Amino acid sequence: SESLTFLGIESSCDDTAAAVVRHAPGAPAEILSSVVDGQTALHAAFGGVVPEIAARAHAERLDLCVEQALAESGLRFGDLDGIAVTAGPGLIGGVLSGVMCAKGIAAGTGLPLVGVNHLAGHALTPRLTDGLAFPYLMLLVSGGHCQFLLVRGVEEFTRLGGSIDDAPGEAFDKTAKLLGLPQPGGPVVEVEAKAGNPRRFAFPRPMLDRPGCDMSFSGLKTALLRARDALISAQGGLTRQDRADLCAGFQAAVADVLAEKTRRALALVRDETATPVLAVAGGVAANGAIRAGLQAVCAAAGARFLAPPLRLCTDNAAMIAWAGIERFRAGARDGMALSARPRWPL
Ligand code: KG4
Ligand code: ZN
């Protein structure tokens, strides 16, 4: 079939993003532009994403983001074959802004409109970057999500398990907050952990005693809080080394849990995947210790480890444009009835 060029729009959390992706069957996909306007600074003072602030920022920034993505691609609306937009899950104000923006463009240009599930966007990214064939195992680990998916087709996902409470990124962010470190916590905790002893504090490895691929990270945060408070009441505060050891212990616990559950997920799908692959996505996949743990498990299982470039692992619109192209090829057309969904399990 023919070459397709799609504009993608993403606004489900705290990044306003637009991108243009082109794909001709048989050739690698081309990301002609990918603009991400992050809102970290807007939410920093609040210790988390504030939905009202996020929605307003998306509404203010979407048009410019789209304009910039088009300009950087060197194309105009008339050169496109369709518009893809994140229709959920996410913070409803932001998702609505994106959907309305996409509908406006579709109405004005007559281009087809395709709604995309944000999680499907992450899950299909290894096909955008590496042309990975179905089926494959995906571990999605971000600030809001934590799940193992067997990706069988453009619309065929089997959830093998995931966190029953906090996502790992959320746990990293809360850990940073508890230790007085800045947000987002993940990268800061990783840097602190480099100078720390991961064995000084005996943090739990939750749910390893249970079968299956489900995980829990909220208990780790409680254990960290206890260890911190014990140090504070014993010595009146935390030293630099205490902080580093707490970070190292916490990170090692998260890495161990993710590695062991990945080992089990790979075993579960062994019969379904000819060449076993673990693909990762989400900001937490940037963590060196976590990556090393996953890579070791993959090596032991004879599986390929595939991590897309970080800018495509974290929230972006290229993955939405790509998922839109894949859905369009599968026959999906959404039109003006497309609605924004705050909850939308795969
Ligand atoms: O995928 P992402 O950019 O956004 C969503 O959550 O959708 O992921 C952001 C999360 C944050 O919680 C951040 O602290 C975490 O990923 N993160 C990390 C690292 N870099 C980002 N966590 C651990 N280690 C890192 N190096
Ligand atoms: Zn995401």
116 annotated as a binding-site residue: no
Distance between Cα 12 and ligand 2 center (Å): 8
**Dihedrals phi, psi of 270, to nearest 5 degrees:** -50, -40
Q: Is position 141 annotated in a ligand binding site?
A: yes
Q: Is the pLDDT of residue 180 over 70?
A: yes
The answer to whether 310 touches 286, Cβ cutoff 8 Å, is yes
pLDDT tier for residue 274 given thresholds of 50, 70 and 90: confident
Using a 6 Å cutoff on CB, does residue 13 contact ligand 1? yes
Band of residue 1 on the pLDDT scale cut at 50, 70, 90:
low
Q: How far is the CA of 170 from the centre of ligand 2 (A)?
A: 13
Instruction: Give the separation between CA 342 and CA 264, rounded to whole angstroms.
Output: 31
Q: Which atom of ligand 1 is nearest to the CA of 143?
A: 6
The continuous run of DSSP H or E covering 242 comes out as helix 240-268
Indicate if ligand 1 lies below 6 Å from the C-beta of 10.
Answer: no
Architecture of domain 4-131+315-337: 2-Layer Sandwich (3.30)
Residues, beta carbon < 5 Å, ion ligand 2? 315
Q: How far apart are CA 336 and CA 60, in angstroms?
A: 22
Mean pLDDT of 229-236: 97
Torsion sign over Cα 258, 264, 268, 272:
positive
Over range 157-176, report the average pLDDT.
Answer: 96
Q: Whose CA is closest to atom 16 on ligand 1?
A: 283
Question: Is 130 marked as binding a ligand?
Answer: no
* Ligand 1 in reach of 185 Cβ (< 6 A): yes
Q: Global pTM?
A: 0.94
What average pLDDT does range 29-47 have in this prediction?
90
Q: Which ligand is nearest to the CA of 313?
A: 1
Residue ranges covered by each domain of the chain: 4-131+315-337, 143-311
The rounded mean pLDDT for the chain is 95
Q: How many beta carbons lie within 10 A of that of residue 187, not counting itself?
A: 15
Average pLDDT of 34-44? Answer: 90
Assess if CATH 3.30.465.10 describes domain 143-311: no
Atom of ligand 1 nearest to the CA of 288: 26
Q: Label the pairing between strands 277-281 and 304-306.
A: parallel
What tokens appear for 197 in the block?
A: 């002893």
Fold match between 4-131+315-337 and 143-311?
A: yes
pLDDT value at residue 96: 97
Question: From the CA of 239, how far away is ligand 2's center (Å)?
Answer: 35
Q: For ligand 1, is residue 142 a contact (CB within 6 Å)?
A: yes
Summarize pLDDT for 278-332 with one digit per residue, the tens. Answer: 999 999 999 999 999 999 999 999 999 999 999 999 999 999 999 999 999 999 9
Q: Please report which helix (H) or strand (E) contains residue 29, including its range.
A: none
User: What ligand has the least distance to the C-alpha of 173?
Assistant: 1
Question: Is the Cβ–Cβ distance between 203 and 220 less than 8 Å?
Answer: yes
| Strand order across the beta sheet in which 113-117 lies | 30-38, 15-23, 4-10, 82-88, 113-117
Q: Per DSSP, which regions of the chain are E strands?
A: 4-10, 15-23, 30-38, 82-88, 113-117, 136-141, 146-153, 156-162, 277-281, 304-306
Query: Cβ(143) to ligand 1 under 6 A?
Result: yes
Is the C-beta atom of 161 inside 6 A of ligand 1?
Answer: no
Q: What is the pLDDT of residues 277-291, one digit of tens each?
A: 999 999 999 999 999
How far does residue 314's CA lie from ligand 2's centre (Å)? 6
Cα angle, residue 133 at apex, residues 128 and 139 outer, rounded to 5°: 70
